[in-house]
Structure 1
């Protein structure tokens, strides 16, 4: 396949990433309708958690066998997108029962492991410099996909759940084809053809990787819990004066603005470096956690602006920490490192969501989410701790 410019590759990867990860949020958009048909009104939590759990298992599987580094990443992206799309559409074709739905959504999450982190790995193969900006656009596309179900709910669009699954499956296959057929291996890709069972322990000894991963974990402790409870926070702060559609539209704005901040932060990182952007965003979002405690006492115009600022800061560090992860390991281990860190970060996000849910038994939501500051604070401290410890990276085999 003929080489293409890094700019063209990035455009195709961003589009393909958005199309492929539409599978992730298809279940969120139609969960209320499916729940009503099945007599399970609280189904959205089960569907969301099942996809997340599948993604965690999938990313660990891909990382353990070093799939993104041992095989052409474009092929991995393509076949993962096709398989994820097939299991997504099986929700429509199989008997309409909850176990089948959850099983298929689990496998959608599993094969999404070959789309999101592998897309970042492909971008890393094209950008030796400016990777922070490239990943900013990639993660921004994922963030917009996350916000999309809230927009559908806010606009009151009455789309059949079956149509949503058919459309997202078709989009995912199209996205996979864009990368599989039109994005060749990047000029900075180095293959790691051997399966090495000791690779993950070797990577765990790289302090630069541990530093970047620590910051990413602190970010993930906060991010998905903030997103998950954003509608509840808005309802709490509005004291019941906002309609459900207004809450959904504001939730969309709070999450979607993070997609813009990912791209803007990426551009800024070209001048300041990924480290400064990541740490500034992580510190700023930690401050927002604390500010949430006093948000109920300020006018609605103030707390709405505050939530938008939080939405900006809570996301902008994600692509920059991923950039630091990619830069911390030899080129032939980039895919494995990115996939492994993704796996651990998403696992941590589930723990955080469940912990916040538990805290709501005793605390109002503003105080419960204020405690999310533990994530950014710990992430910053561990980032600096491991960054100070110098140890040479293991040589590639």
Structure 2
């Protein structure tokens, strides 16, 4: 079984990543039936979503500061995180609607995801280092689909008992953990020594090229999750202008966010010839231009604005795997896992104020909140221009 899996390491890792990250937005996917049964409001959804984000940030910081991501085998950490994450996700069923127990279960789920997403990136580098940008593109593409799927589920599973999808995502996470454990750690990174000192995950920030790449990633993250949060609101505005109801919002939101998977995979293919930095720069440029122009286009036909959102959905995440590939190349080889973990921790930390600002000002500013996303691409491009990392 192990030898069979090792013949196709990238599909195994990508599939396991999709299964594992199904825990991330599992609550969002069943929200209509869950909220109807327990009498929860949209503000509770925001609270639970931010609990997962906070848990992920805490987990990645812990990995980065302690160096655990490089002390132990990535496949073992992935398996343990998948097991504990599946239990925390299933435990939410017992604590749903009971504050703060429900938030604690979601925080624990996010904590475990820190051992799935960054470690999945390390495994990709370990198994397929030659075309890391293209390989990581598949990985982030699966994460993007995982983000989009809840919107699809909101459209098609409103009558399903909300417990079933949660238990299903827990089972998928367990399966993903087992697949990675059977696959193993990969031949292209040094074996974990178990003797790395604390704070090794921060050592890469001393390197100018790594700082430049990390800065580009931070700017990208400022925009990414805030944009994904705004998508249903922006689509709802255009549907209202068309005189349509809200029934199409989840379907169109799935389309806009899900298109990002195509952007990741397409960008990965381009990176094999033009390089990861070239793809990252162009994606930042396109999304930055849309941040700037979209509010000024608010009087144009709704169909045209929805088409612009589809383009934005592609560009906004196409650079993400390329930043990870560039970071993996520029980080010290013996601390790749911890270096990626610290970059993820800071990047996801920046999503919190960006989401808070844009969603909080939506009622007052409307589409003009898109301008608040613009500093992200601008800063990202400025940072890349200072470091000149190699693709």
TM value normalised by structure 1? 0.93
For residue 361 of structure 2, the aligned residue among 359, 362, 368 is 359
Aligned to 2:255: 253
Residues 192, 333 of structure 1: 8 Å contact kept: no
Aligned to 2:152: 151
Which runs of structure 2 are paired with 1:155-304 in the superposition (5 Å)? 155=156, 157-181=158-182, 183-190=183-190, 191-240=192-241, 241-304=243-306
- Give the Cα separation in 1 of the matches to 2:82 and 2:266: 28
Number of residue pairs the alignment of both structures matches: 387
* 1:21 is the counterpart of 2:18: no
Q: Decide which moves more: 21-30 or 184-193.
A: 184-193
- Give the Cα separation in 1 of the matches to 2:146 and 2:321: 15
- Give the Cα separation in 1 of the matches to 2:364 and 2:246: 25
Residue by residue, what CA displacement relative to the aligned partner does 1:314-353 show, whole Å, maximum 9, x if unpaired? Answer: 0100000010111111221111111111111111011111
Residue by residue, what CA displacement relative to the aligned partner does 1:69-112 show, whole Å, maximum 9, x if unpaired? Answer: 11110011011000000111112245752322111111000000
Secondary structure of residue in 2 paired with 1:306: helix
Residue by residue, what CA displacement relative to the aligned partner does 1:274-294 show, whole Å, maximum 9, x if unpaired? Answer: 000001001110001112113
Deviation of 1:5 after TM superposition, in Å, equals 7.9
Deviation of 1:195 after TM superposition, in Å, equals 3.2
* 1:334 is the counterpart of 2:343: no
Residues 74, 179 of structure 1: 8 Å contact kept: yes
Residue by residue, what CA displacement relative to the aligned partner does 1:166-221 show, whole Å, maximum 9, x if unpaired? Answer: 1110010011111012x122111112422312424432211111111111111100
- Give the Cα separation in 2 of the matches to 1:376 and 1:7: 39
Aligned to 1:317: 319
Deviation of 1:361 after TM superposition, in Å, equals 5.5
Residues 32, 41 of structure 1: 8 Å contact kept: no
Q: Decide which moves more: 317-326 or 59-68.
A: 59-68
RMSD: 1.9
- Give the Cα separation in 2 of the matches to 1:145 and 1:357: 21
* Structure 2 unaligned residues grouped into runs of 5+: none
Aligned to 1:132: 133
Deviation of 1:144 after TM superposition, in Å, equals 0.3
* 1:38 is the counterpart of 2:3: no
Aligned to 1:88: 89
Residue by residue, what CA displacement relative to the aligned partner does 1:205-264 show, whole Å, maximum 9, x if unpaired? Answer: 111111111111111000100100101011123335232221111110000010111011
Deviation of 1:355 after TM superposition, in Å, equals 1.6
* 1:384 is the counterpart of 2:388: no
Deviation of 1:301 after TM superposition, in Å, equals 2.2
Deviation of 1:20 after TM superposition, in Å, equals 0.6
* Structure 1 unaligned residues grouped into runs of 5+: 391-397
Aligned to 1:76: 77
Deviation of 1:295 after TM superposition, in Å, equals 2.8
- Give the Cα separation in 2 of the matches to 1:97 and 1:198: 37
Change (3 A) 1:284 1:108: same
- Give the Cα separation in 1 of the matches to 2:127 and 2:201: 24
Q: Decide which moves more: 171-180 or 27-36.
A: 27-36
Change (3 A) 1:173 1:200: closer
